[in-house]
Amino acid sequence: MADRIAITGSISIDSDELEISYVRSPGPGGQNVNKVASAAQLRFDLFASPSLPEPLKTRAAVLAGSKLTNDGAIVISASRFRAQPMNRDDAIARLLALLAEAAVPPKPRRATRPTLASKRRRLDSKSKRSTTKKLRGSRPDGD
């Protein structure tokens, strides 16, 4: 049986659902960069995952943005560190952070009405502004 990776207290994913491959890191790096594949590329099939509820999947898809492929997989590339295990752990941590953020349902908006005092203040300031503008256009009488 594969290990379970906890996202929240009640939600976890199977470690077999993660595909990790290693590629060469981009950018400068000296003699070692062209020989060692130290960057980790994590692939997680979001919509095929049996561990996650549907509302979490839809919120995660929105949060993933450009990391989500057309076939519904989240691809995370990690090349921050020089060592493979550290990049693998970084990619997994970033996926878990994304899923943990998606696990929190958005707070419903409650419609509110402005108070009577705030309506009066708004109308008073509008009338003061109107008076100021009217006074600019009038010319003094030359008696």
Query: Is a pLDDT exceeding 60 seen at residue 143?
Result: no
pLDDT by residue (tens digit) across 1-48?
A: 468 888 888 888 888 888 999 888 776 666 666 677 888 999 999 888
The set of residues, in sequence order, having a beta carbon less than 8 Å from that of 11 and lying 6+ positions away, is 51, 52, 53, 56, 99, 103
Give the C-alpha separation, 18 to 42, whole Å. Answer: 7
Task: Give the integer Cα–Cα distance in Å for 44 and 21.
Answer: 12
| Average pLDDT over the chain, rounded to an integer | 87
Q: Give the pLDDT confidence of 76-105 residue by residue, as tens digits.
A: 999 888 888 999 999 999 999 999 999 999
Between residues 65 and 36, the one the model is more confident about: 65
Give the pLDDT score at 98: 92
Has residue 71 got a pLDDT over 50? yes
Q: What is the pLDDT of residue 26?
A: 76
Question: Residue 25, SS3?
Answer: coil
68: which DSSP letter?
B
In a 13 Å sphere around the CA of 127, the CA atoms on its Cβ side amount to 6
Strands 18-23 and 39-45: antiparallel
Distance CA 104, CA 97 (A): 11
- Is it the case that residue 131 has pLDDT exceeding 60? yes
Residue 43: partners with Cβ closer than 8 Å, 6 or more residues away: 18, 19, 20, 21, 73, 74, 75
Given a contact cutoff of 8 angstroms between Cβ atoms, the answer to whether 34 and 126 are in contact is: no
Q: For residue 61, give both structure tokens.
A: 């898809």
Cβ count within 10 A of residue 3? 9
| pLDDT at 138 > cutoff 80 | no
pLDDT of residue 1: 43
